[in-house]
Amino acid sequence: MTESARPTPQAIPDTVTICITSCGRLDLLAQTLASFRAFNSGGTYLISEDSTDAAVIDQVRKVYPEARVLSGPTRLGLMGSIDRLYSEVTTPYLFHLEDDWDFEGVIDWAAAIAMLEARADVAHVCVRDVTEIKEKYRMRSEVVTLAGRKFRVMQTTAHPEYFAWSSNPGLMKVETYKAFAPFGRMQHDQMSGLMKKSGLRQAFLLPGVARHSGYGRNVVDPTMPARPKSRPQKWLRAIRKRLYYAGLRKEPF
């Protein structure tokens, strides 16, 4: 997109805090924030730098002096970092952002907020390009128009875990976080599944303006079990998780 074609950045509302999880990938963090700020101006920023590397933490503070950088002596993993961030938010809304996304357009903040206020069953308004989601899941949604914008509101039956909440770029109410906190007590997909059991779902703002950029640059989360690699291991994991959501297992893995 040329500079002349780039839309005017939209001001981030004072009611929103930008919460960023980061873990040592300084180049990806720089690309993420450069693309995000090209389309969204102002804002209050919190960054959880989970690398525990003093040099990295110092660099993040130097490069982003306008942000409050949170860190600690031990790694917390994604969900622990989320608790560290979200517990510091004083605004009614928070926008979650990881350090590996590319933004291609402005966020319609007013429309996203309107969706959260109009639909008590929507926990999270995601701004990820919905075409990055598998078509079989996209088809399990309804197109809804609100505040002059279209959304895809996911059906609660779209997946046993996904599409109630996610760490993809998106807006949520702080009160929703507080109702389920602490997030660190369970894994990412479990938390989404728990919200789904409570009747909550995710909405995608159309068109999406963010694409994932961290492929092949995964950070090992110390709180997560190792991902299965072989097909039999993947099948066994899927069976265990289905039994968990059917109430026949105490743990999903």
Q: Give 103-150 pLDDT, tens digit per residue.
A: 999 999 999 999 999 999 999 999 999 999 999 999 999 999 999 999
- Please give the average per-residue pLDDT across 2-14, as a whole number: 80
Instruction: Report pLDDT digits (tens) over 77-110.
Output: 999 999 999 999 999 999 999 999 999 999 999 9
Q: Is the pLDDT of residue 248 over 80?
A: no
Task: Supply the pLDDT for residue 120.
Answer: 97
Segment 154-176 mean pLDDT? 95
Q: Does pLDDT of 31 surpass 60?
A: yes
Tell me the average pLDDT of the chain: 92
Task: With beta carbons less than 8 A apart as the criterion, state whether 166 and 78 touch.
Answer: no
Q: Supply the pLDDT for residue 7.
A: 80
Q: Report the percentage of the chain scoring pLDDT > 90.
A: 79
Dist. CA 168–CA 171, nearest whole Å: 10
Predicted confidence (pLDDT) per residue in 179-213, tens digit: 999 999 999 999 999 999 999 999 999 999 999 99
10-222 CATH: 3.90.550.10
Q: What is the pTM of this model?
A: 0.89
The pLDDT score that the predictor gives to residue 5 is 65
| pLDDT of amino acid 2 | 53
| Domain chopping of the chain, boundaries | 10-222, 226-253
Is 190:182 a contact under the CB 8 Å cutoff? no
**Phi, psi for residue 64 in degrees, rounded to 5:** -125, 65
> Beta strand pairing status for 210-212 and 201-206?
unpaired
pLDDT band at 249 (very low <50, low <70, confident <90, very high): confident
For the chain, what percent of residues have pLDDT higher than 70? 95
pLDDT tens digits, 214-245: 777 777 777 777 667 788 877 887 787 777 76
Tell whether the model's pLDDT for residue 152 goes beyond 60. yes
HEC states along the chain?
CCCCCCCCCEECCCCEEEEEEECCCHHHHHHHHHHHHHHEECCEEEEEECCCCHHHHHHHHHHCCCCEEECCCCCCHHHHHHHHHHCCCCCCEEEEEECCEEECCCCCHHHHHHHHHHCCCEEEEECECHHHCCHHHHCCEEEEEECCEEEEEECCCCCCCCCCCCCCCEEEEHHHHHHHCCHHHCCHHHHHHHHHHCCCEEEEEECCCEEECCCCCCCCCCCCCCCCCCHHHHHHHHHHHHHHHCCCCCCCC
> Is residue 3 over pLDDT 60?
no
Q: What is the pLDDT of residues 32-71, one digit of tens each?
A: 999 999 999 999 999 999 999 999 999 999 999 999 999 9
State the pLDDT at residue 131.
Answer: 95
